[in-house]
C-alpha cells in the first residue's frame, strides 16, 4: 500500500541549498536541521545571485523586529523578489526549542488585511511555495525558476508553514500525539507570528493539499475554538485532493476500477487484467457500495470501513495496489499523482516529482477519525474542496463519495449531483474553455478539475486561481 495519507517529514535538501544561499539572515535565525546534499549545493553555487531590489521603505511588514527575517535575494531567482520573510517562529515564546519554519510573502496587489495559511502542500508547504502557487516556480523540467502569473500572492498575503514540528525545516522534539496537539502547536505558532509581524484583525484563511485534508479541519477548528476575532477570524478554507474520512476505502479502493475503465487508453492494461479487477470490483462489494451510496441525495450514513491490509480477504480486495503495480509494469514512469506522465521523469529541483513512497514518522495514520470539516463549513460557509481528475492517489469520485457521508448545516451530503460547468472565458494564457464542474450547497463548494493531477495549482494554475478568488470572497461562483 502507498502510505499516502500519512504525515511526512520529507526535508528537501535542495531547499536547504536554495534558502541558505538566499539569505544570511535566514540562516542565522534558523537552526537548520540536516546537512545540504553536496551535489545540490554545488549545482546551485554555479548559478549567480542576481539582486534587483525595490525601495525597502515601502514594505508594509518591515520593521526592526521583522528585519532579521527579511529575505533579500533568492539563489537562482533573477527577478526582484519584493517583500518576503522567512525563518523560524517558536510554538512557545518561553521555550523556543520547538519552532515552525515559514515563508511569508505579502501580496503584490493592493494591500489586504487578510492572511492565507498554507499548512501542508503534498509533502511539505515549501513544495507549494516553489512548485504550485508561489511567485517563483521551479517545477519539474524547468531549468531555472520562473515568474508565476497565477501566484496567489497576486491576491493575498501568503504564509507557507512547515508543520507539524518534525516536518522539513521546522525544529524541536515531536511531542504531539494527536492531530489536535499538532493543531494547537500551529495555532500557538500563528499567534506568535502575528505578534512578530504586528498583525491584528486580519481575515484568516487556511488552505492545504492531500494529507492536509486532515490538518486543515483540525487547525481551523482550533482557531474557531480560540474565540479570538482579533487573531483567528477564520473566513474560508480550501483543500485540494484531500484525505477525507476512510481514505483507503472510499477515495481509493471503492472507486479505483471505474477510474481505470474511464482512463483505459492511458493505463493500457491488458484484457485479462481488466477482467480480473472488474470481477474483484463486484466480489469485494465495491460496485454495490457505489451503487448504493454514490447517489444524490445519499440514502444514509455509510457504515464504518477500515481497510486492514493484514486480513487475507481484504488484501485480496486491494485492487488499488494491483492496478498500481500493473500500471507500473506497462509504464515504468507511472505517476499516481498525474496518470498521464510517461518516461523520462523530468529533472526536479525538489527531487520528488512523482510516485515515491512516503513513510510515516512515528505517528499512527489515524489517531482520531472524527472529521471536523463540517464544523468548519458551518462556521465560515466558505469551504472549497477540489479534486483533479488525473489523480489516482485521491480519486475524484472517491472524494465526492466521502462528501456524501458528511453531515453539515443540517443535512447529509449533497442533495443534487454536481453538474454545472466551470468555464473560463477571459482571454488568458492557458486553459480556456470548460475546465471542470462546480457545485455549491450549504457553504461547501465542490470543484472537479478535468485536466489536473494531484497538485492542482501546478497543473491547472488558472483554475486554482479561480478557486482561491472564491475562497477569498472576491467572486461568488467559479
Ligand X SMILES: *[C@@H]1O[C@H](CO)[C@@H](O)[C@H](O)[C@H]1NC(C)=O
**Which residues contribute to the site for ligand X (CB under 6 A)?**
95, 97-98, 149-150, 154, 173, 175, 245-246, 249-250, 255, 258-259, 262, 270, 272-273, 301-302, 304-305, 308, 310-311, 326, 329, 397, 405, 465
Cα distances (angstroms) measured from residue 408 to each of 375, 381, 414, 415: 7, 10, 10, 12
How near is the Cβ of 397 to ligand X at its closest, in Å? 4
Nearer to ligand X, 351 or 418 (CB): 418
Q: Which of 432, 430, 443, 438 is nearest to 477 (CA)?
A: 438
Nearer to ligand X, 52 or 175 (CB): 175
Q: Which of 263, 271, 297 is nearest to 396 (CA)?
A: 263
- The strand pairing partners of 117, in sequence order, are 159, 206
CB 286 within 8 A of CB 253: yes
Beta-sheet strands, E only, within 287-393:
383-388
Nearer to ligand X, 50 or 330 (CB): 330
How near is the Cβ of 150 to ligand X at its closest, in Å? 5
State phi, psi for 218 to the nearest 5 degrees. Answer: -65, -45
Nearer to ligand X, 139 or 302 (CB): 302
Nearer to ligand X, 109 or 346 (CB): 109
Cα distances (angstroms) measured from residue 224 to each of 215, 235, 243, 419: 14, 10, 21, 32
Nearer to ligand X, 351 or 361 (CB): 361
Q: Which of 278, 279, 288, 285 is nearest to 258 (CA)?
A: 278
How near is the Cβ of 66 to ligand X at its closest, in Å? 24
Widest distance between CA atoms in the chain: 68
CB 333 within 8 A of CB 346: no
Among residues 231, 439, 454, 467, which one is catalytic? 454
Please state the separation of Cα 467 from the chain's center in Å.
13
Distance CA 387, CA 398 (A): 10
How near is the Cβ of 467 to ligand X at its closest, in Å? 13
Nearer to ligand X, 351 or 443 (CB): 443
How near is the Cβ of 373 to ligand X at its closest, in Å? 11
The H-or-E segment that residue 158 falls in is: strand 157-162
178 is catalytic: no
Distance CA 239, CA 467 (A): 10
Among residues 170, 210, 235, 464, which one is catalytic? 210
Distance CA 71, CA 142 (A): 23
Among residues 391, 439, 452, 464, which one is catalytic? 391
Nearer to ligand X, 230 or 270 (CB): 270
CB 98 within 8 A of CB 165: yes
How near is the Cβ of 302 to ligand X at its closest, in Å? 4
Helix/strand/coil for 274: helix
CB 84 within 8 A of CB 71: yes
CB 378 within 8 A of CB 409: yes
DSSP 8-state code for residue 162: E
54 is catalytic: no
How near is the Cβ of 161 to ligand X at its closest, in Å? 19
389 is catalytic: no
How near is the Cβ of 90 to ligand X at its closest, in Å? 10
Grid coordinates standing for 294? 454514490
Residues identified as active-site: 210, 391, 454
Amino acid at each position: 500500500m502507498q502510505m499516502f495519507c500519512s504525515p511526512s517529514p520529507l526535508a528537501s535538501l535542495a531547499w536547504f541549498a536554495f534558502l541558505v544561499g538566499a539569505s544570511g539572515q535566514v540562516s542565522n535565525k534558523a537552526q537548520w536541521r540536516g546537512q545540504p546534499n553536496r551535489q545540490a549545493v554545488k549545482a546551485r553555487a554555479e548559478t549567480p545571485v542576481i539582486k534587483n531590489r525595490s525601495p525597502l521603505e515601502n514594505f508594509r511588514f518591515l520593521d526592526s523586529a521583522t528585519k532579521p527575517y527579511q529575505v533579500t535575494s533568492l539563489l537562482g531567482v533573477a527577478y526582484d523578489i519584493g517583500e518576503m520573510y522567512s525563518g523560524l517562529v517558536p510554538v512557545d515564546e518561553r521555550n523556543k526549542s520547538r519552532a515552525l519554519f515559514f515563508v511569508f510573502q505579502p501580496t503584490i496587489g493592493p494591500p489586504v488585511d487578510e492572511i492565507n495559511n498554507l499548512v501542508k502542500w503534498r509533502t511539505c508547504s515549501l513544495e507549494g511555495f516553489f512548485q504550485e502557487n508561489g511567485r517563483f516556480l521551479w517545477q519539474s523540467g524547468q531549468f531555472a525558476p520562473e515568474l508565476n502569473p497565477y501566484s496567489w500572492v497576486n491576491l493575498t498575503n501568503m504564509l507557507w508553514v512547515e508543520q507539524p514540528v518534525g516536518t522539513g525545516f521546522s525544529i524541536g522534539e515531536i511531542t504531539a500525539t494527536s492531530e489536535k496537539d499538532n493543531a494547537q502547536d500551529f495555532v500557538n505558532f500563528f499567534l506568535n507570528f502575528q505578534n512578530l509581524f504586528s498583525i491584528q484583525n486580519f481575515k484568516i484563511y487556511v488552505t492545504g493539499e492531500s494529507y492536509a485534508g486532515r490538518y486543515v479541519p483540525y487547525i481551523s477548528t482550533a482557531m474557531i475554538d480560540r474565540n479570538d476575532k482579533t487573531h483567528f477570524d477564520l473566513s474560508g478554507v480550501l483543500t485540494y485532493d484531500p484525505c477525507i474520512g476512510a481514505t483507503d476505502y472510499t477515495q481509493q479502493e471503492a472507486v479505483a476500477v471505474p477510474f481505470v475503465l474511464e482512463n483505459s487508453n492511458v493505463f493500457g492494461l491488458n484484457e485479462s487484467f481488466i477482467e480480473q479487477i472488474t470481477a474483484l470490483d463486484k466480489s469485494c462489494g465495491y460496485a454495490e457500495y457505489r451503487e448504493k451510496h454514490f447517489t444524490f441525495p445519499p440514502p444514509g450514513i455509510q457504515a464504518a470501513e477500515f481497510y486492514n491490509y493484514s486480513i487475507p480477504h481484504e488484501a485480496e480486495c486491494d485492487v488499488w495496489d494491483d492496478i498500481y503495480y500493473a500500471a507500473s509494469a506497462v509504464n515504468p514512469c507511472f505517476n499516481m499523482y498525474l496518470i498521464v506522465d510517461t518516461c523520462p521523469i523530468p529533472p526536479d529541483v525538489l527531487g520528488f516529482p512523482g510516485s515515491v513512497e512516503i513513510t510515516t514518522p512515528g505517528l499512527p495514520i489515524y489517531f482520531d477519525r472524527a472529521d471536523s470539516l463540517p464544523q468548519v463549513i458551518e462556521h465560515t460557509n466558505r469551504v472549497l474542496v477540489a479534486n483533479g481528475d488525473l489523480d489516482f492517489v485521491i480519486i475524484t469520485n472517491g472524494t465526492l463519495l466521502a462528501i456524501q457521508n458528511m453531515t453539515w448545516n443540517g443535512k447529509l451530503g449533497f442533495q443534487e449531483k454536481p453538474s454545472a460547468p466551470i468555464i473560463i472565458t477571459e482571454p488568458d494564457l492557458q486553459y480556456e474553455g470548460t475546465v471542470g464542474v462546480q457545485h455549491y450547497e450549504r457553504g461547501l463548494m465542490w470543484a472537479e478539475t478535468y485536466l489536473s493531477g494531484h497538485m492542482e495549482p501546478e497543473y491547472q494554475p488558472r483554475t486554482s486561481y479561480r478557486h482561491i478568488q472564491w475562497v477569498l470572497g472576491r467572486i461568488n461562483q467559479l
